[in-house]
């Protein structure tokens, strides 16, 4: 019972944190470019995790490092740059709806690659949640005429990578502690991210006021939205199922619209409110066993 309550708490918490990540990324992009944002996000998260859990690196068996490398690549490294690049051209709300494809990809990869059994009610829940996300975005008041939807493909690919990542963790790393996995991931990514950041000429811009302001947003994004969230997400995967864990992507658009209302004056119309309820209903069905 305690584990059941914990998984719902983590699901809502992670959905809320990641729902706010889109705004943080958009604020960050006002002072740095997309590549710099992706690298800085990894470096902030990596610094935080290595400081609190460096000793956990010794707990990773040598034969597990290949799986740690795969989860770092598909779960964080590539998506960090994909999202940063896409959000320069498309709205955060559009990104959040495409990101909700993650549970679908998690199911498909689990079924086709790992032979994971999937029940009809889970498929129904995934479909229901996706429909709710579509209602939230299609019937929104957001003017996205200037958006370049070709960049939406990057978010779709990132959601595929997330689906791969969830299955990798469940299949190969469930016996490791969440902090151990997270520290291992960012130990692998830290130096490549630093090299990429240096190559962009970022350190020549640090004195810029807009860049310094952006660093504040990216710091929160990296430490809370990536570093701490990764630990909690890995814990969620271990105490639930891959599909349930990936259902955080259904809560993200709901949170994004709530924040839009609170800070930017956006409103939820009646159909959007129905969409939000459909999203939560989809999460419920997809989590049932």
The DSSP-derived string for 85-142 is HHTTTS-HHHHHHHHTTHHHHHHHHHHHTS-----HHHHHHHHHHHHHHHHHHHT---
Alpha-carbon span 284 to 258, nearest angstrom: 20
In this predicted structure, what is the pLDDT of residue 121? 82
Alpha-carbon span 58 to 38, nearest angstrom: 27
In this predicted structure, what is the pLDDT of residue 222? 96
Percent of the chain with pLDDT strictly greater than 90? 52
Contact between 92 and 22 (Cβ < 8 Å): yes
In this predicted structure, what is the pLDDT of residue 145? 41
By three-state DSSP, how is residue 33 classified?
coil
Count the neighbouring beta carbons within 10 Å of the beta carbon of residue 151. Answer: 18
In this predicted structure, what is the pLDDT of residue 2? 61
Contact between 226 and 18 (Cβ < 8 Å): no
Count the neighbouring beta carbons within 10 Å of the beta carbon of residue 132. Answer: 25
By three-state DSSP, how is residue 58 classified?
helix
Contact between 229 and 18 (Cβ < 8 Å): yes
Alpha-carbon span 110 to 271, nearest angstrom: 33
Rg (CA), the chain: 18
The distance from CA 56 to its chain's CA centroid, rounded to whole angstroms, is 23
In this predicted structure, what is the pLDDT of residue 114? 85
Alpha-carbon span 76 to 83, nearest angstrom: 10
Residue-wise pLDDT for 157-171, tens only, equals: 999 999 999 999 989
Alpha-carbon span 74 to 63, nearest angstrom: 19
Q: Provide the residue range defining the domain that includes 106.
A: 2-287
Give every CB contact of residue 2 below 8 A, 6+ residues apart in sequence. none
Alpha-carbon span 238 to 142, nearest angstrom: 37
Contact between 272 and 141 (Cβ < 8 Å): no
Contact between 93 and 137 (Cβ < 8 Å): yes
Could you tell me the pTM of the whole model? Answer: 0.86
Alpha-carbon span 255 to 157, nearest angstrom: 22
Choose among 42, 150, 143: nearest CA to 86: 150
Question: Into how many domains does the chain fold?
Answer: 1
Low-confidence ranges of the chain (pLDDT < 50): 1, 143-146
């Amino acid at each position: 019972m305690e584990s059941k309550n914990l998984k719902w708490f983590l699901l809502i918490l992670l959905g809320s944190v990641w729902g706010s990540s889109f705004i943080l990324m958009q604020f960050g992009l006002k002072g740095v470019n997309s590549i710099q944002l992706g690298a800085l996000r990894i470096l902030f998260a990596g610094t935080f995790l290595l400081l609190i859990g460096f000793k956990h690196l010794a707990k990773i068996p040598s034969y597990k490092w290949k799986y740690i490398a795969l989860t770092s690549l598909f779960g964080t490294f590539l998506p960090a740059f994909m999202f940063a690049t896409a959000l320069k051209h498309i709205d955060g709300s559009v990104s959040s709806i495409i990101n909700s494809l993650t549970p679908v990809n998690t199911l498909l990869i689990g079924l086709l690659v790992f032979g994971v059994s999937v029940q009809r009610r889970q498929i129904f829940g995934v479909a229901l949640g996706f429909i709710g996300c579509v209602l939230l975005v299609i019937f929104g008041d957001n003017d996205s005429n200037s958006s370049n939807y070709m960049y939406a493909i990057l978010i779709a690919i990132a959601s595929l990578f997330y689906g791969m990542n969830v299955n990798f963790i469940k299949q190969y790393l469930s016996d490791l502690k969440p902090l151990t996995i997270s520290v291992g991931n960012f130990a692998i990514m830290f130096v490549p991210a630093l090299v990429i950041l240096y190559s962009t000429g970022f350190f020549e811009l640090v004195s810029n006021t807009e860049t310094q302001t952006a660093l504040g947003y990216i710091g929160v994004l990296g430490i809370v939205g990536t570093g701490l969230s990764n630990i909690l997400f890995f814990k969620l995967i271990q105490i639930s199922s891959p599909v349930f864990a990936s259902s955080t992507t259904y809560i993200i658009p709901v949170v994004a619209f709530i924040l839009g209302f609170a800070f930017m004056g956006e409103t939820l119309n009646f159909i959007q409110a129905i969409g939000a309820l459909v999203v939560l209903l989809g999460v419920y069905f997809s989590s049932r066993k």
